[in-house]
Amino acid sequence: MINIEDIVDRITLLEPVPPVAIQLLVLAEDSDSSTSEIADLLMHDPALTANLLKICNSAYLGLSRKVESVREAISFVGLDQIVDLVLLNSVAQNFQNRYDGYGLGEGELWRHAVSSAHIAKILADRYGASQIKHLIFTAALLKDIGKLVLGRYVAFSFEKINILVHSQGYSFNEAEKQIIGMNHEELGAMVAEKWCFSDRMTYIIRNHHLSDPATRDNPETALVYLADIICMMMGVCTGADGLAYRFYADVLNQLDLSVNDLHDVIAEMGERQPSIENLVNLM
Amino acid sequence: MVNSVTHAQAVSLTTAVNLSKMKISSNPVETLVAFSIGSGIGVAIHDSVIGVGGILNIMLPDSTQTSGISAGKSPFMFADTAVPSFIQALYEQGTLPERMKVVIVGGANIVDCNGLFNIGQKNREAVQTFLSQHHLNIHYEDTGGTLSRTLSLEIGSGCSSIRIFGRGELKV
């Protein structure tokens, strides 16, 4: 078995999510915060502001005029989308590499993350969880952050993991745990703690495959889980793990969603995929 | 779309066929590719006599079971509307059913003990039904399981290939 401490030590090699993104998420989820407070927060980060204006003035958004300040951006694009764009921009750098252990080429984990986040947002709207949509969006975006570190260890152990998955009925994360000693969601939660994410965010990342039955009652975790499942089924940059994860049908009952609702989400995402591709390529 | 020129005589053209799209070609240097097919189905059809072929990349089995997105808007998203339209478009290029080589790939499923969310299997059954209605036999099929697949079709040779991570490439 691989030394777990060696794996955990490698978390420090990641580029931490900037504190402004974490502060933004707190403000966005706080019903007492104002647009003005969010604008002030963003304006005090020149690099972030520059990137945000670049994205807002790109063909992706197709605005009729150029925006020149954070306040204008919020006014023309809308606060919700500005929050999402800043969060995406804050984490993009880590996800752009290739992760051979998971069979993911350059940028593929990023494409999967962005698509998952958008699916999660659609699900949050359908489920009526729009008040926590930024938390769900961000958690879906970051749920596989453990793969950034674990990928090299999966590569070393791929044959053994593959045998468990394809000959002994293990899911991919169960096989990771069995062979390596930890799986990507546990490691992701360690990254989340190190980067001072909220307890709710850390919980979702740790449990996004719902392996522990007790976590299936938690709506926000269940929504992120479903978003991941749908993204895998759509084949959006699925790698070596493919669709080798478990589906828990009781989650649909908990959320009062049907299989047809999931079909509708897949169809909606199919329509939006070209636009999401443009967004992925902007970051 | 990716163009690559290795030397003066060898020109190749690779065209991606995205989700809910189809592409037909008679360009002998063109290769069509549907990347990373999960629960959807990639259908490659080729008529070697006239050198015409295409790939269809569907996502869902039945347009009547989905609200919000209509088949009129996205005809190649659903098997029930996509397969007949794809075959009709191939006929319009002069292909004949008895000369068509049909390969279907994808239909992977999440690990679901109750089989409730088995879109992959439903997609496969729907594609098979509509191919049968057009009296088309499947020459080669690689469907099911939990792995995503990449399907390509060389228009010049009619050769299809199926790529799966960790298992290499199979040419048919």
Integer-rounded Cα radius of gyration of chain A = 19
At A28, is the pLDDT very low, low, confident or very high (cuts 50, 70, 90)? Answer: confident
CA-to-CA distance for A219 and A118, rounded, in angstroms? 17
A10 exposure class (CB count in 10 Å sphere: 0-12, 13-18, 19+)? middle
* B contacts of A232 (beta carbons < 8 Å): 38, 110
Is residue B2 situated within a structural domain? no
At A215, is the pLDDT very low, low, confident or very high (cuts 50, 70, 90)? Answer: very high
CB contact under 8 A, A246 and B111: yes
Structural domain count of chain B: 1
Is residue B130 situated within a structural domain? yes
* B contacts of A162 (beta carbons < 8 Å): 166
* Residue that the structure tokens 């152990």 belong to: A157
pLDDT greater than 80 at residue B7: no
CB contact under 8 A, A245 and B110: yes
C-alpha separations of B32 from A115, B8, B43 in Å: 24, 22, 11
- For B146, which of A158, A244, A273 is closest by C-beta distance? A244
A23 exposure class (CB count in 10 Å sphere: 0-12, 13-18, 19+)? middle
Interface test with B, best of A173, A210, A247, A258 (most B CBs within 10 A): A247
* Residue that the structure tokens 């228009």 belong to: B155
A75 exposure class (CB count in 10 Å sphere: 0-12, 13-18, 19+)? middle
At B2, is the pLDDT very low, low, confident or very high (cuts 50, 70, 90)? Answer: very low
CB contact under 8 A, A271 and B74: yes
The shortest C-alpha distance from B158 to chain A (Å) reads 25
Is residue A228 within 8 Å of residue A207, measured between CB atoms? no
Is residue B145 situated within a structural domain? yes
CA-to-CA distance for A203 and A196, rounded, in angstroms? 12
Percent of chain B whose predicted confidence (pLDDT) is above 90: 80
The pLDDT, as a whole number, for residue A1 is 63
The distance from CA B167 to its chain's CA centroid, rounded to whole angstroms, is 20
The pLDDT, as a whole number, for residue B10 is 66
CA-to-CA distance for B127 and B39, rounded, in angstroms? 12
The pLDDT, as a whole number, for residue A190 is 95
CA-to-CA distance for A99 and A110, rounded, in angstroms? 11
Is residue A157 within 8 Å of residue A180, measured between CB atoms? yes
Interface test with A, best of B36, B58, B67 (most A CBs within 10 A): B36
pLDDT greater than 90 at residue A19: no
Is residue A25 within 8 Å of residue A135, measured between CB atoms? yes
Is residue B7 situated within a structural domain? no
CB contact under 8 A, B60 and A263: yes
B59 exposure class (CB count in 10 Å sphere: 0-12, 13-18, 19+)? buried
Is residue A150 within 8 Å of residue A191, measured between CB atoms? no
CB contact under 8 A, B120 and A233: yes
Instruction: Find, among B104, B100, B86, B83, the residue nearest to B151 by Cα.
Output: B104
CA angle A222, A228, A231 (to 5 degrees): 140
CA-to-CA distance for B147 and B80, rounded, in angstroms? 24
Residue B164's domain comprises: 13-171
Is residue B1 situated within a structural domain? no
Is residue B148 situated within a structural domain? yes
CA-to-CA distance for A165 and A137, rounded, in angstroms? 29
CB contact under 8 A, B38 and A247: no
> Is the predicted ipTM greater than 0.95, yes or no?
no
Is residue B69 situated within a structural domain? yes
Segment among A44-53, A168-177, A208-217, B145-154 with least mean pLDDT? A44-53
Per-chain mean pLDDT for chain A: 91
pLDDT greater than 60 at residue B132: yes
CATH code at position B98: 3.30.1330.200
CA-to-CA distance for A204 and A96, rounded, in angstroms? 22
Write out the two tokens for A112: 């999967």
Is residue A112 within 8 Å of residue A237, measured between CB atoms? yes
Is residue B56 situated within a structural domain? yes
CA-to-CA distance for B153 and B34, rounded, in angstroms? 9
Interface test with B, best of A233, A252, A272, A275 (most B CBs within 10 A): A233
CB contact under 8 A, A235 and B106: yes
Helix (H, G, I), strand (E, B) or coil at B62: coil
CA-to-CA distance for B52 and A19, rounded, in angstroms? 56
Write out the two tokens for B114: 């109750």
pLDDT greater than 60 at residue A142: yes
* B contacts of A276 (beta carbons < 8 Å): none
The pLDDT, as a whole number, for residue A62 is 85
Interface test with A, best of B1, B80, B121, B148 (most A CBs within 10 A): B148
CB contact under 8 A, A242 and B148: yes
CA angle B50, B76, A226 (to 5 degrees): 135
Spell A97-136 as b/e; 16+ CB within 10 A means b: bebebbbbeebbbbbbbbbbbbbbbbbbebbebeebbbbb
pLDDT greater than 60 at residue B1: no
Nearest CA in chain A to B106: A235
pLDDT greater than 70 at residue B69: yes
pLDDT (tens digit per residue) in B41-68:
999 999 999 999 999 999 999 998 888 7
A62 exposure class (CB count in 10 Å sphere: 0-12, 13-18, 19+)? exposed
CA-to-CA distance for A35 and A42, rounded, in angstroms? 11
